[in-house]
Structure 1
Amino acid sequence: MTRTITVGLDGSPASLAASDWAAREAQLRDLPLRLVTAWEWQAPAFAPTTGLGVPVPPSDLQRASAQRLLAQARSRVGEAHPGLRIDTDEIPGLPVPALLKAAEAAELLTLGSRGLSKAAGFLLGSVSHAVLASCERPVVLVRAAEHGGHEAPAETSERQATGVADSRDVVLGLDLLRPNDAVIDFAFDAASRRAARLRIIHGWTLPPYYYGGELMPDLNDGMVELVRSELSDVLRPWQDKYPTVEVSAQATIGGAGRHLVDASYDAALVVVGRQIRHAPVGAHIGPVTQALLHHAVAPVAVIAHD
């Protein structure tokens, strides 16, 4: 079965931005685009208690609404990307289980994220958050620029309109303590397809070698060299596999989250990992990924791994 680039639609500007991003990704990968939406509506969790409940349309009207949404999105995307194979599917059920099911046959799943403001950044929303926390396929979160207040540069808009790949940096948040092949390979592959530079950011913490409040210079320099050496060792086989990808690697003191957010302002894509944890209660996203999702400007790819 041919995998697809799948995008979940709900009619919001963020989900339409996600469909635009997914269409370009489908062209980069020479794969079909699949537009999906769940047509079973769910009453708001915090609805006013009027005694009458929250009115939910009959199922035939819900499905008709989903079909209209998909038809409009297919027409819009098809006009911007002629020649791209576009499939549509309205899936019975509530959004989270429907999207998780759709992701099983996807190369990656793309979802929209609603932006709040320049200061607040992402508002993931309950559906996107729940899907991201449980999905074992790569998930890309795309923010609608008009919601976040961060408009794409004019040259980027022109590239998108003409179908030319975005050559801005792909950014990878790399954990040297637990480097994962799937995460690294995704980032290198994304940069290769875009003919873009791969910018790698690793955050690390200095050991408590202090004397009178001052770092001991020799020990500090030694730690820096050790981290740089480890970074080179981890990246060497990937640079051999992707020889055309220009790599810029930096080890930053402190958590990587803030540095990844800063890098997202002029990036084509930010790639991070999420360790799969089958916990009895809830799911794990991780503090760095969580911070990035709430504040990043560029699309964020979250790669689940064991």
Structure 2
Amino acid sequence: MLPPVIAGVDGSVESLAAADWAAREAARRDRSLRLVQVWNWHPRQEDGEPVTAAQRHQAQRVLRQAKARVRAVVPNVRPYDEQVEGPATAALLKAAEGAEVLVLGSRGLSGVTGLLVGSVAQGVVARATRPVVLVRADEEPADEHLLARDGRPSILTGFREVVLGVDLGDPCDAVIEFAFEAARLRGAGLRVVHAWRQPSPLGLGPGDIGLVSGPQRAEEWLGFLSAVLQVWRDKYPGVEVTETVAEGRAQSALLRAASGASLLVVGRHLTDRPAGPRIGPITHAAIHHVGCPVAVVPHE
């Protein structure tokens, strides 16, 4: 059996938006949809606290609500549900092990503040071994699509671009492939972004050219990016790729590129560190400040 798309639901507005997005993704991927409700996911309940009959009844109501909404939004997807006991982060991580994609919600705040991800979602992103997509509370199906000719939102127009952030110092096949496949499934263009910084004279090594101009260095990076992507262009000939290199901080470049995207794809290293799992500064900025859904793809 093919791995399902899984959505974590807790009755909140953001989790219902995540369930909607997961249903659309399951239809795109021709996968089943599994809705997971964790007993003690409630923010005021401590991990390990016993579950009451009232909480079990509430959990069942949450699942019924999510299933009804999914069926209304994507009628051809038949979700199945599962109730599991917490702790919430551990339960969702276990569910993610058998998922094609795990989808969770994030509360949308102001554009200045960004997204309040929450400890559970952030903990899952930091430790999951499968891709995790975070969806904001006000995400609507039309947000994935281009505006209609009259400027109104529509689900009948083409999809907005998928944006992929690439570190040319450590390009990862799993992350790149996820983005190309997401673009193919949507019939969307793929914008690949790499950010670079001008080296300081103190950081130059033997043989380095310290006087190369910014435009020349940008052309070099663009050539490297094209070379890295060539094998994926060949594998996905139907995906229109736009390559972008920007001087400056990667976080800023991705935030700009993702402002009109249907999906942002970033990577996260799986390597263990003494201080425990971390998501890295670029991924951290993406999941907190980007308005569109963000896919975090773990890699070695």
Verify same fold: TM over 0.5: yes
Query: In the alignment, which residue of structure 1 is the partner of 2:237?
Result: 243
Q: Residue 265 of structure 1 aligns to a residue in which SS? A: helix
Pick which of 296-305 and 74-83 moved more: 74-83
In 1, the alpha carbon distance for the partners of 2:147 and 2:39 equals 36
Query: In the alignment, which residue of structure 1 is the partner of 2:268?
Result: 274
Query: In the alignment, which residue of structure 1 is the partner of 2:10?
Result: 10
User: Of 112, 116, 138, which aligns to 2:109?
Assistant: 116
Per-residue CA distance 1:30-69 (angstroms, 9 max, x = gap): 0011111101356748x9xxxxxxxx78522222211110
In 2, the alpha carbon distance for the partners of 1:127 and 1:269 equals 21
User: Of 34, 43, 59, which aligns to 1:66?
Assistant: 59
1:275-290 correspondence runs (5 A): 275-290=269-284
Aligned AA (1:185): E
1:59-98 correspondence runs (5 A): 59-98=52-91
In 2, the alpha carbon distance for the partners of 1:21 and 1:166 equals 17
Contact 1:42 1:94 survives alignment (8 Å): no
Aligned AA (1:5): V
Aligned AA (1:171): V
Contact 2:145 2:160 survives alignment (8 Å): no
1:145 aligns with 2:141: no
User: Of 282, 286, 296, which aligns to 1:292?
Assistant: 286
In 2, the alpha carbon distance for the partners of 1:109 and 1:231 equals 29
Aligned AA (1:100): L
Contact 2:145 2:157 survives alignment (8 Å): no
Q: Residue 10 of structure 1 aligns to a residue in which SS? A: coil
The alpha-carbon distance between structure 1 residues 166 and 138, as it changes in their structure 2 partners (threshold 3 A), is farther
Query: In the alignment, which residue of structure 2 is the partner of 1:51?
Result: none
1:79 Cα deviation from its structure 2 partner: 1.8
1:29 aligns with 2:39: no
Query: In the alignment, which residue of structure 1 is the partner of 2:162?
Result: 170
The alpha-carbon distance between structure 1 residues 218 and 153, as it changes in their structure 2 partners (threshold 3 A), is closer
Q: How many residues align?
A: 287
Contact 2:162 2:179 survives alignment (8 Å): yes
Q: TM-score, normalised by structure 2?
A: 0.88
In 2, the alpha carbon distance for the partners of 1:218 and 1:41 equals 54
1:182 aligns with 2:174: yes
Contact 2:20 2:70 survives alignment (8 Å): yes
Aligned AA (2:81): T
Contact 2:100 2:130 survives alignment (8 Å): yes
Contact 2:144 2:262 survives alignment (8 Å): no
In 2, the alpha carbon distance for the partners of 1:252 and 1:44 equals 43
The alpha-carbon distance between structure 1 residues 6 and 165, as it changes in their structure 2 partners (threshold 3 A), is farther
Aligned AA (1:39): W
In 2, the alpha carbon distance for the partners of 1:34 and 1:154 equals 31
Contact 1:145 1:152 survives alignment (8 Å): no
The alpha-carbon distance between structure 1 residues 165 and 188, as it changes in their structure 2 partners (threshold 3 A), is farther
Aligned AA (1:199): R
Q: Residue 110 of structure 2 aligns to a residue in which SS? A: coil
Query: In the alignment, which residue of structure 1 is the partner of 2:154?
Result: 158
Please list every run of 5 or more consecutive structure 2 residues that lacks an aligned counterpart in the other structure: 203-208
In 2, the alpha carbon distance for the partners of 1:216 and 1:145 equals 47
The alpha-carbon distance between structure 1 residues 286 and 43, as it changes in their structure 2 partners (threshold 3 A), is closer
Contact 1:257 1:291 survives alignment (8 Å): yes
The alpha-carbon distance between structure 1 residues 151 and 171, as it changes in their structure 2 partners (threshold 3 A), is closer
Contact 1:271 1:300 survives alignment (8 Å): yes
1:154 Cα deviation from its structure 2 partner: 5.9
Q: Residue 289 of structure 1 aligns to a residue in which SS? A: helix
The alpha-carbon distance between structure 1 residues 151 and 81, as it changes in their structure 2 partners (threshold 3 A), is closer
1:167 Cα deviation from its structure 2 partner: 1.1
1:176 Cα deviation from its structure 2 partner: 0.2
In 2, the alpha carbon distance for the partners of 1:43 and 1:198 equals 37
Contact 2:218 2:246 survives alignment (8 Å): no
Contact 2:144 2:159 survives alignment (8 Å): no
Contact 2:147 2:157 survives alignment (8 Å): no
Q: What RMSD, in angstroms, separates the aligned Cα atoms of the two structures?
A: 2.6
1:192 aligns with 2:188: no
